Amino acid sequence: MIKTIVVGVDGTEGSHRALEWTAERATELHAVVVAVFAMPPASEFVMSIPPLPGEAVSDLRRHFEEQWCRPLRDAGVEYRAYVVEESAAHALLRFAKRENADLVVLGAHSHGGFADRLLGSVSYTVSHSAPCPVVIIPAEARAA
């Protein structure tokens, strides 16, 4: 039985579709959702770019909670929302283990096969390392 679902959130169309799908499943299953937005650590940026000011981070956290998590709230799903400073794949895997998740959901980003291999795909890493099943929702609907 699925009791806890971890979902990756990043404001993209794929992420929004993943949240909608998760809200529907969580409603059906009476599951708790753990929504995770991972901001890349400052060390991943060019050293000459200054870190985001505290106010900008606070605004981003508020936007995450108020806007991006809206499908969960609108569905009346019980959820917890976290903003963390680490790579998305690492954050999703860490929360899946920490929360003893029964399922991880994330939206696909279609950069193309070579770009995903070059950049390192979050979907690939999570699907090959998660301690539970992973559902990857496409960014756009496709005809059957």
The answer for residues whose C-beta is within 8 angstroms of residue 122's C-beta and 6 or more apart is 8, 87, 88, 89, 92, 106, 109
| β partners of residue 100 | none
What's the CA gap between 71 and 79, in Å, rounded? Answer: 11
pLDDT attached to residue 139? 74
DSSP conformation class of 67: I
Q: Write down the pTM of the prediction.
A: 0.84
14-33 tens-digit pLDDT:
999 999 999 999 999 999 99
- Distance in angstroms (rounded) separating the CA atoms of residues 110 and 5: 23
Cβ atoms of 131 and 96 closer than 8 Å: yes
The 10s digit of each residue's pLDDT in 73-115 is 999 999 999 999 899 999 999 999 999 999 999 998 765 555 5
- Domains of the chain are 6-101 (3.40.50.620)
How far is Cα 136 from Cα 88, in angstroms, rounded to an integer? 14
Neighbour tally for 12: CB within 10 Å: 15
73 against 49, higher pLDDT: 73
In sequence order, the 6+-apart residues with CB closer than 8 A to the CB of 8 are: 15, 18, 36, 37, 38, 88, 91, 92, 104, 105, 106, 107, 122, 126
Contact 56, 7 (CB under 8 A): no
Give the model's pLDDT for residue 58.
78
